[in-house]
Amino acid sequence: MRISRISKLQTVTYLLLAFALLVAASNVPAIHADDQAQAVPSVGSMAPDFTLPSQEGTPISLHSFRGKWVVLYFYPKDQTPGCTIEAHAFQRDQAQYDAKNAVVVGVSVDTVESHKEWCAKDGMNFKMLADTDKKVVALYGSTMTIPQAPQLGTVAARNTFIVDPSGKIVKEFLKVNPTGHSEDVLAALADLQKAGGR
């Protein structure tokens, strides 16, 4: 009788332990490959190549800009306040980028149609690329979600990379403040070109 009671207590204890482990295991979130943000490519590494459609619908490859400096900037969403400030400044400074043998290339997860509409509305003529599959933003470690707008899902984080004419990343701006950003990029380009003698 006594052995039976001990046996029952042990069985109940094991069942409770097994139940607790089962509950704990079911609360562990499943990890998906796209949940694991890739690291931002490091300064000094070759910029990961890609091909994406522009606002004109034509595919643009990063390697097609070899021989030029590239300001590759990622931004969250077309026609939103911060992104508009940033894009307008890049547009305003186009002549200065041209003088530095530099091109500005914007990337977001918006569609070609969204880019086309925004560029036409706001008079922007530099390349805006549509990464609707979100592969390039992941490749550059530039993904985020906006807590205030979870319905948007994953969007591009506001990061900028300066790529030199050989295709190497030579400067990074992470978690950019859009106000004054173009001026900061132009200053960095001037310093890099002076240091490199180009």
Residues pairing with 145 in the sheet: 154
Has residue 108 got a pLDDT over 50?
Answer: yes
pLDDT tens readout for residues 39-71: 999 999 999 999 999 999 899 999 999 999 999
Distance CA 110, CA 79 (A): 10
The structure tokens 């707008």 sit at 149
Q: What's the confidence (pLDDT) of residue 36?
A: 40
pLDDT tens readout for residues 129-140: 999 999 999 999
Residues pairing with 59 in the sheet: 53
Residues designated catalytic = 83
Q: What's the confidence (pLDDT) of residue 2?
A: 52
Distance CA 23, CA 119 (A): 51
Residue 10 phi/psi, 5° resolution?
-65, -45
Confidence of residue 10 (pLDDT cuts 50, 70, 90): low
Residue of 101, 99, 71 lying closest to 169 (CA atoms): 71
Contact 114, 131 (CB under 8 A): no
Contact 175, 142 (CB under 8 A): no
pTM of the entire predicted model: 0.79
Give the DSSP H or E segment for 121: helix 112-122
Among the four given CATH numbers 3.40.30.10, 1.20.1740.10, 1.10.3720.10, 3.30.70.100, the one describing domain 33-196: 3.40.30.10
Has residue 5 got a pLDDT over 80?
Answer: no
